[in-house]
Amino acid sequence: MSQHQLVSPEQRSNEPQRYYDPQAIARYYRSRPWVVIWRCLRIVWGFASFVFSFKLDQWGNRTEQNKLKRATQLRELLTNLGPTFIKVGQALSTRPDLIRQDFLDELIKLQDQLPPFDNAIALSIIEQELGRSIQKLFSQISPKPVAAASLGQVYRAKLHTGEEVAVKVQRPNLRPILTLDLYLMRWAASWIAPWLPLNLGHDLTLIVDEFGTKLFEEINYLNEGRNAERFALNFQDDPTVKVPAIYWRYSSLRVLTLEWIDGFKLTDTERIEALGLDSASLIKTGVTSGLRQLLEHGFFHADPHPRWTAVLKR
C-alpha cells in the first residue's frame, strides 16, 4: 500500500494515511455514495435548522432577544458535526472583522471547552499506539482528561522515572471523518466557485486543499513533536520563551507525550495582576519572539491564540 492510498474507515492498518491526497479521497468516496449522501444530509439538515431558526427570529422581531440562544446553537451545531467543523469554528473565532460579537463569544469556547471522548477508548489508544499497558507506561495518570480539543484530549501523568508529563491522545476514527468532510467541502467549492466574484471563487478548491493539507499535518503527532523541537532549538538562547520537551519513547502518530508545564492563559489579566507580573513585559516578549520567528528563523507559530500560549507560574 502506498503512503498516499486512502485507508477506509473499516480498515485497521499499521500504516494509516499520513498525507492529504484529494484524488485518492475522491476515488474512495465515489464508490461509496451512500456514505457521502448520509453525511451531506446531516450537514445540510443541521445548517438548515440553524438558518430557519435565525430567520424566524428576524420575522418575529426576536433577533436581539434570542441572539445568545442562536450563538449557542451555532457552537453546538459545529461541535456535533465533528472535528472538521470545529476547526472552521476555531478559525472564525479569531476573526472579529467577520463575525459579530455574540457569535464570537460562543465560538471562542471551541478553543478549549469541548466535550472529551470516552476515557476507556482514549486509554486503549495509548496502549495500542505505544505497545504497553498504562501501568507499565506511567506510574500515575489523571482519571479524566484535563483538557479536550477538536482533534484530541490531554491527560496529566507521571513517568516511572518521576517526570510529570502531558499525554495528548488523538480522537478515534479521525482520518475517515476528516477525509469525508474534506471531500464534501472540495465538491461544494467546485460548484460554488463559478457563482462567486473572480477574486473570491478563483482558488476556492485550492483553499480547501490547503486546509486539508494542514489538517493532515496537524494530526501527525510525530510532525508536531519535530516542530516543537525545532522551535525550542531556535529559542534556546532566549530564557523568556519556554517550549515543552518531547518524550519520544512515549510518542507515536496518534499519541504525543510532552513535559508538563504549569501556567495560565495570557488572557487571564486578573491572575497576571495578582502575581505582580508586568503586562508590558509579557507583550514585549510576545512581539519580540513573533518577529524573530518571522524575520530571523522563517519558522513560526501559526496558531498563537490563548490555548497554545501561556504564562509560567514561576
Chosen domain end from 61, 96, 111? 111
Residue 137 lies in a domain: no
The reported pLDDT for the residue numbered 17 is 59
List the alpha helices (DSSP H) in 108-150.
119-130, 134-137
- Quick one: what percent of the chain has pLDDT higher than 90? 68
Residue 12 lies in a domain: no
Average pLDDT of 191-202?
A: 68
Tens of pLDDT along 91-124?
A: 888 888 888 999 999 998 998 788 999 999 999 9
Q: Where is mean pLDDT largest: 220-224, 260-264, 280-284?
A: 220-224
Q: Catalogue the active-site residues.
A: 303
Question: How many separate domains does the chain show?
Answer: 2
The reported pLDDT for the residue numbered 283 is 86
The reported pLDDT for the residue numbered 3 is 33
What band does 14 get if pLDDT is binned at 50, 70 and 90? Answer: very low
Q: Looking at the predicted structure, is the pLDDT value of residue 8 above 60?
A: no
Q: Looking at the predicted structure, is the pLDDT value of residue 187 above 60?
A: yes
Domain range for 56? 32-111
Tell me, yes or no, if the pTM score tops 0.85. Answer: no
Q: Where is mean pLDDT largest: 242-251, 261-270, 304-313?
A: 242-251
Residue 55 lies in a domain: yes
Report the b/e string of 277-290 with b at 16+ CB within 10 A.
Answer: eeeeeeeeeeeebe
Q: Are 104 and 305 in contact (CB under 8 A)?
A: no
Average pLDDT of 290-300?
A: 91
The reported pLDDT for the residue numbered 4 is 34
Q: Looking at the predicted structure, is the pLDDT value of residue 6 above 50?
A: no
Chosen domain end from 111, 132, 151? 111
The reported pLDDT for the residue numbered 167 is 98
What band does 125 get if pLDDT is binned at 50, 70 and 90? Answer: very high
What is the C-alpha separation between 115 and 58, in angstroms, rounded? 31
What is the C-alpha separation between 279 and 273, in angstroms, rounded? 8
What is the C-alpha separation between 4 and 19, in angstroms, rounded? 6
The reported pLDDT for the residue numbered 7 is 36
Among 51-60, 128-137, 298-307, name the one with the lowest average pLDDT. Answer: 298-307
Residue 146 lies in a domain: no
Q: Are 7 and 24 in contact (CB under 8 A)?
A: no
- Quick one: what percent of the chain has pLDDT higher than 70? 90
Average pLDDT of 186-200?
A: 77
Residue 118 lies in a domain: no
The reported pLDDT for the residue numbered 304 is 67
Tens of pLDDT along 80-100?
A: 999 999 999 988 888 888 889
Residue 140 lies in a domain: no
The reported pLDDT for the residue numbered 305 is 65
Average pLDDT of 168-193?
A: 92
Separation in Å, CA 153 to CA 52, 99, 100, 171, 177: 34, 27, 29, 7, 17
Among 54-58, 136-140, 186-190, 196-200, name the one with the lowest average pLDDT. Answer: 196-200
Instruction: List the one residue out of 82, 253, 62, 60 whose CA is nearest residue 181.
Output: 82
Q: Which residues contact 30 (CB under 8 A, 6 or more apart)?
A: none
Indicate the DSSP class of residue 245: P
Average pLDDT over the chain reads: 88
Chosen domain end from 111, 145, 173? 111
What is the C-alpha separation between 288 and 117, in angstroms, rounded? 38
Residue 142 lies in a domain: no
Indicate the DSSP class of residue 150: S
Q: How far is CA 210 from the centre of its chain?
A: 15
Residue 187 lies in a domain: no
Q: Looking at the predicted structure, is the pLDDT value of residue 135 above 60?
A: yes
